[in-house]
Structures are given as C-alpha cells and as structure tokens.
Structure 1
C-alpha cells in the first residue's frame, strides 16, 4: 500500500503574483504533489487554505500518513481548530514536513514550543546545501552538496529546539549559514523541516529537492497504528500491583564478589 501524503498549500501567491503563477501553473502544492507521485510508493493529493476546514477534516487527516505544509503570508488565517487537529494527528503518529516559511506556521510553532524566528534576506542569492548526516535516509541518493542558483536567505540564529538530527546545513552568498534540514520526534509522529522553497524561484522543479521530499515522506511515515487519544493518559484503575519480581543471579558480598568467604 502506498504512503498517503497530503501537500497543503497556502495557494495565495499563485493567485496574486504573475511570477509565481508562471513558475507554478498548478500551484506549488500541485508541483510538489506531482514530484511525489513520480514515486510508485507514494500517493500524494493536495489541500489548500481556501477549502472548507482548509481541506484538513478529521476524516482526511485520519487517512493521511504524511502531511507536507507550505505557508508564508497567511499563517494567521489558519483556524486554530484545524491547527489543533493537525497537532493531535502528529502526536498520534502522522508525519509532518514543514517547508520553507512553514517554520512560522501555527502547527510547526505549536509542535516546537519555541518562537521559530530567524533572519532573512530576499536577494536571489545562490544557496549551497551540505549534507551533515550522509547516512540519514533523507539524504539517500544525494551528492555531498548541491546548489540552488536563486533562493531567499535564511540565517541563524534559528529559534527552534535542538533537533534530533541535522541533515542539511546551508551556505549563502552573503556568508550566512543555516540549519536547513532538521528532524524531531513529537509524540508518535516524525517531523522534518526543509528550508528551500521561496515562491518566486523554481526550487520545487529541482531534481535534488524532489529527492529530498520523496525521501522525507518515506522517513516521516510511521506504519504503526495511530494512537487513539494522544492527549490523555488512560484513566483506568489498576486492580492490583504487579507481583514482585524475585531477585535472580548470585548474591554478592560487600566487596562485590561471590563466595569470598
């Protein structure tokens, strides 16, 4: 059975900016989903901000293995009820991949518990991404580094909790560096942040980026059954204490040696 991915997009810049519309006539979310669907093991569909419940009903999230989220200018328009629904789905075992400006999205900030702030500059600079964990599954099939000719600069400090693993570090022409690929575990869910993806550049047409995204979906997928209610401990009385476990093995004397005397 293929991994069921949903690519969520703000779908704002594609409607208001001709440069973005020309680069992504199917929307960034549509282009990303197309790249994922090139992998026979992934089945990707899309959802957008403008749909009822932002396309993320409880029923749909229950059938989503991995959610990819791209946001930028409309973070505040995402309904809090949907945010909590997404967060609880991650705690239950759904994977989440936050893309580019989704570092400031409500679901990502809620899961990180930190400001997630950073420095930035939009100047169409070259970005070089370096692998910092060559054997990580997200890095499979990639060279030691790859370049994007034009991207928005993000710079440290990046207000995130310490990642479980840092997979990529970026260098920009201005000299800045940035943790561009980082992973976390939240409840039963796997979370990956991937930095590149400014809307006015063709980042989501890049073959190396496609490889990262497909690898990330496979890594974020948790095949185990979802936790039924991750927000509560089971309120069930325990009938009796477990039987005392008998001590096993030879008893040691004061000096830690058996049978000294």
Structure 2
C-alpha cells in the first residue's frame, strides 16, 4: 500500500458568516468556528498534522487547485451560504475527493452543495433548535474514529437533528444520537466515493460551544487520520484493457 503523508495535511473550511453577524456566535467563537475546529485537530494530532484554514470570502473560497492538491483531508462547515458556493469550486472539490482526498462534512454541511452532490440525494432531515441535550452513542466500537472516545458523548446543549435523514445507506454507521425530545439520528456516517473517504458528523450547531467539547474534538482528529488517503492522488479513469489471463499467459 502506498504510504500516507506524514504529517497529515488538513484544511479546515468554514463559511464564517454567523461569526460576523451574530453576537452569540461571536462570543463562542471569537476567531471563527473554523479556527476552533482547527485548534481541536492540532490539540489531538500535534506534530502529526499540519492544519490550515480557509473561508467562504477568501479568493476562490480559499480552495484553489494548489490548496486542494496539498490537502489530505478537508473539513467543511457551512449553513447560510450553501447556494452561494461557486459551482466550479464544488466541481474542484468533488474531483479531489474522487481522486483520494478525505472529506469531513460537519453539522449543517449536510445541506452543502458538495455533500448533496456526492450523496446524490436531498440530504434533508428533521430539526429543532431548543437547547436539547444530545447523547452521541457509539455503535461501532472497533472503528478507529471512536478511539479514546467515551460512550456516549454527552453534549448538554445542541440543535436536534432527527430521522428521516435522506442519505444513501452508509458504508458504516459509527454513531447514533438521541435527544431530549425522544428523537434519534444517525450522527456519524462513513462513505467512500471514488478513491476518497467521507465522514459526516452532525454535532456542531453555531449557537452552542460544541467545537470546544473535548470529545467532539477527539472525534474530528480521529476522523482526519481515518480519512487520509494514500500519497498518490489519482482520479479513477475509464480504460480499455486486454484480458488479464491472456496477458499472463503471453508472459
């Protein structure tokens, strides 16, 4: 197997709109949610990761071809500006995922153009934002994403996400959440698309300090390690080939 990059190169992408207009979010995340998420990954991975940030208002949304070529794992948090994300950038990110870049889609990123594109469904769900308590239950204790993570993760305040969640059947269900109102939600799901690995993780509404939660930060760090693909970035291609057995016989 081709070796992975060491350290892992992570780009944390944030929409960075709530932080500019909402006093509650500004107080919780004075440097932006993307900065807090990046700090959490650095906290747990240390010298094993090089973490940069990018935001919607950067040139090309901060996701130039050069940045993505130097990114092993991209994390994505968006909410207000889903429809404003440039389709050319979505195409670019999709190609890099299919070529082997990892993608972590966070919370309301379920409705982002890139996630809906990769899933091929509406990615709709039920929601309620009334200070629910969320318990994030591990359902795959052998999965590397749950390494050193308690079961359950107790999040005192969080937006409720509930089923039905209109996504394809995941390759793996890592977490299921339960809420004060009795709802449940598939809150940690993995997918493979082309050569790339995708992890969707729902905890993380902007109105609550979820990305300061040590267990949430641990999950994101673990997921970056899991989602990192091989060094060689290669898009799967259509190719006509000779029959394998004939070629072996000829040798």
Q: TM-score range by the shorter chain?
A: over 0.9
Structure 1 position 18 matched with structure 2 position 46 = no
Structure 1 position 35 matched with structure 2 position 40 = yes
Q: What does 1:18-167 align with in structure 2 at a 5 Å threshold?
A: 18-38=23-43, 39-40=45-46, 41-167=48-174
**Is the 1:48–1:55 Cα contact (8 Å) retained in structure 2?**
yes
Change (3 A) 1:237 1:46: same
- Which one has more relative contact order, counting CA pairs under 8 Å at least 6 apart? 2
Change (3 A) 1:182 1:240: closer
SS in 2 for 1:215: helix
Query: Distance in 2 between the 1:243 and 1:55 partners?
Result: 46
Query: Distance in 2 between the 1:18 and 1:44 partners?
Result: 27
Change (3 A) 1:68 1:174: same
Query: Distance in 1 between the 2:135 and 2:245 partners?
Result: 58
**Is the 1:36–1:43 Cα contact (8 Å) retained in structure 2?**
no
What does residue 206 of structure 2 align with?
Answer: 199
Q: What does 1:164-175 align with in structure 2 at a 5 Å threshold?
A: 164-175=171-182
Cα RMSD, aligned residues only: 1.8
Greater helix share, structure number:
2
Query: Distance in 2 between the 1:129 and 1:65 partners?
Result: 27
Change (3 A) 1:27 1:243: closer
Tell me the CA shift for residue 144 of structure 1: 1.9
What does residue 251 of structure 1 align with?
Answer: none
Tell me the CA shift for residue 245 of structure 1: 5.1
TM-score, length-scaled by structure 2: 0.93
Change (3 A) 1:240 1:175: closer
SS in 2 for 1:11: coil
What does residue 3 of structure 2 align with?
Answer: none
SS in 2 for 1:242: helix
Moved over 6 A (4+): none
Which segments of 5 or more consecutive residues in structure 2 lack a partner in the other structure?
Answer: 1-5
SS in 1 for 2:246: coil
**Is the 1:151–1:196 Cα contact (8 Å) retained in structure 2?**
yes
